[in-house]
Each structure stands twice: as structure tokens, then as C-alpha cells.
Amino acid sequence: MIIECPCKKKKFNIDINLIPAEGRNLQCGSCDRVWFYKKEELISESSQVNEYIAIKEKEDSDKLNDDKSKDQLIKQAVEENEKAKSKLSTINETEKKSELIKKTKSSKFFSYLIVFIISLGALIILLDTLKTPLVNIFPGLEVLLFNLYETLKDIKLFIIDLS
């Protein structure tokens, strides 16, 4: 058992069996002070220590429970955050897909338009190249081809005037 000198400078570890029930005088080895010590003081001190320990344990357990509840709250918040992120990512993926579909549709339209313009140009060049043999086979085609070429010249002049 640990006994402290009344001067509070030194503590001693003394076997409890060395102190009788009536008490005895003790002397401090540091300050040479002599005082009377009873086991009742020990019991009261030990009960105070036990009460202090019990209070401390209760505070620690309350604090631990608070920490656990805080941990649970944090875990719940993290889980809710992850759920929200997954929902947002799903929404974002859906929006990205719809934007991609829109882009794909618009890019498909422009691709078809470009193919159509190139094909039309190739057809006109082919008709111009094969104009004489086609007119020999189809005599009425000469007027149509002449009108087509005149229209293309007019479109060319119109575009030049715009710029």
C-alpha cells in the first residue's frame, strides 16, 4: 500500500500487515516528520480512490459510448454520402449517355449530309464527262444537262457574291 507523507514530498510503499488496526507512528525518510497513521484512514482513502476510479470508469465508458455514437454517425454520414455519389454518378452517366446520343445523332446527320454533297458532286462530274455518249443515246437529255450546268453556274455566282 502507498502512504504519502503529510508534507506531500514523499510517498512510501508499506506492507499493510505492518500497520495494526489501532494504527502506528510513521516517520518520513525525507523530512524526518513523525505522524500517526490508522488503517481507517487507509479504508477511507481506498474508498475515495475506489469512488474516484468508479467515477472515472463511468466517465470513460460514457465518453467511449459517445465516441461510438459519433463513429456511428460518421459512418452513417459516409454511407449516405456514398449513396448520394452513386446516385449522382448514375445521373451523370445517364446525362452523358443522352448527350452522347445527341452528339451521335447530330454527327450522323452531318456525316450523311457530307456524303450526300460528295455523291452529288461525283454524279455531276460523271454526267459532264459522259455527256456526249449519253446525249447520243438519250437525245432529250441534252436540254436537261444544259439547264443543270447553268443552274450550277448561277449557284456558284450566288455563293461568290455572298462572300
Structurally, how many domains does the chain consist of?
A: 3
Same domain, 28 and 62: no
Same domain, 77 and 113: yes
Pick the more confident residue, 20 or 65: 20
Q: Which domain holds residue 7?
A: 1-37
pLDDT tens-place string over residues 14-64: 777 777 878 888 788 777 778 787 776 544 455 555 666 767 666 666 665
Same domain, 63 and 108: yes
Same domain, 111 and 87: yes
What is the value of pTM for the model shown?
0.36
3-state SS, the chain, equals CEEECCCCCCEEECCHHHCCCCCEEEECCCCCCEEEECHHHHHHHHHHHHHHHHHHHHHHHHHHHHHHHHHHHHHHHHHHHHHHHHHHHHHHHHHHHHHHHHHHHHHHHHHHHHHHHHHHHHHHHHHHHCHHHHHHHCCCHHHHHHHHHHHHHHHHHHHHHHC
Same domain, 59 and 30: no
Residue 142 lies in a domain: yes
Same domain, 136 and 82: no
